[in-house]
A = this chain, B = another copy of it.
Amino acid sequence: MTASRAQHLPEAVLRPVRGHHAFEACVEQLGTAIRLGVYPLGSTLPPERELALRLHVSRATLREAMAALREAGLVQTRRGRGGGTVVTLKPRTPSGRAAARVPQAKRADWLDALEYRRVVEPGAAALAAQLELTAVRRERLEQAHAEVAGADKAASHRQADSRFHLTIAALSESPRLIEAVTSVQGTLHEMLLAIPVLEPNIAHSDRQHATVVRAILAGSPDRARRAMEHHCDDTAALLRGLLG
Contact = CB atoms under 8 A, between A and B. Distances in A.
Interface residues of A, number: 64
Contact of A43 (B2, B13, B15, B56): B2
Contact of A42 (B3, B10, B147, B177): B3
Which applies to chain A's interface (DSSP): helix, strand, loop or mixed?
helix
- A39, A113, A143, most chain B CB atoms within 10 A: A39
Contacts of A15: 29, 55, 175, 178-179, 182
A16 B178 CA distance: 13
A6 interface: yes
Interface stretch (A20-28, A66-74, A188-196): A20-28
A154 interface: no
Interface string A16-52: 1111101001100100010000111111001000010
A29 B41 contact: no
A15 B167 CA distance: 16
17 contacts: A5-B40, A6-B143, A8-B140, A9-B38, A10-B33, A12-B169, A13-B182, A15-B175, A17-B22, A112-B174, A115-B172, A116-B177, A118-B123, A119-B123, A120-B120, A176-B184, A180-B180
Interface of A: 1-3, 5-6, 8-10, 12-20, 22, 25-26, 29, 33, 38-43, 46, 51, 54-57, 109, 112-113, 115-116, 118-120, 123-124, 126-127, 140, 143, 147, 163, 166-167, 169-170, 172, 174-180, 182, 184
